[in-house]
Amino acid sequence: MEQARQNFSLNRSRFKTNGDLLWGMQFLSEKKFEQKIPRVRVEDAEKITYKDAKTAMRRGILYLAALQAKDGHWPAENSGIMILNSPFVSSCSFSNSL
């Protein structure tokens, strides 16, 4: 068990948890999705501002909303903590926070 934990810790940055990576790329290209919100880069010693946090959150929500199908569900695999993103995006949409 300890060896499995160490193996996971060493390789977690190289392997994505989402098994639907190819599907997501195909789905986004069919929808002609283009991320228009610029990426936020924060260095280690830099303070994170409200504007940077808001921009990063809007960028992530826009990406997740683009993965939503026309009928309202997310056909992708939502593993681990990702399972919480779908209701989060829905609640942001319902409250006009997007």
Q: What's the token pair of residue 82?
A: 């990702």
Residue 7 lies in a domain: no
Confidence class for position 97, pLDDT limits 50, 70, 90? low
Does residue 25 register a pLDDT over 70?
Answer: yes
Residue 6 lies in a domain: no
C-beta neighbour count of 63 within 10 angstroms: 16
Residue 5 lies in a domain: no
What is residue 5's three-state secondary structure?
helix
Confidence class for position 55, pLDDT limits 50, 70, 90? very high
Looking at the chain, the whole-number percentage of residues with pLDDT higher than 90 is 7
22 vs 6, more confident: 6
Does residue 52 register a pLDDT over 70?
Answer: yes
Number of structural domains, the chain?
A: 1
Domain that holds residue 26: 19-94
Q: Which residues contact 29 (CB under 8 A, 6 or more apart)?
A: none
Residue 54 lies in a domain: yes
Residue 46 lies in a domain: yes
Compute the residue count for the chain: 98
Residue 36 lies in a domain: yes
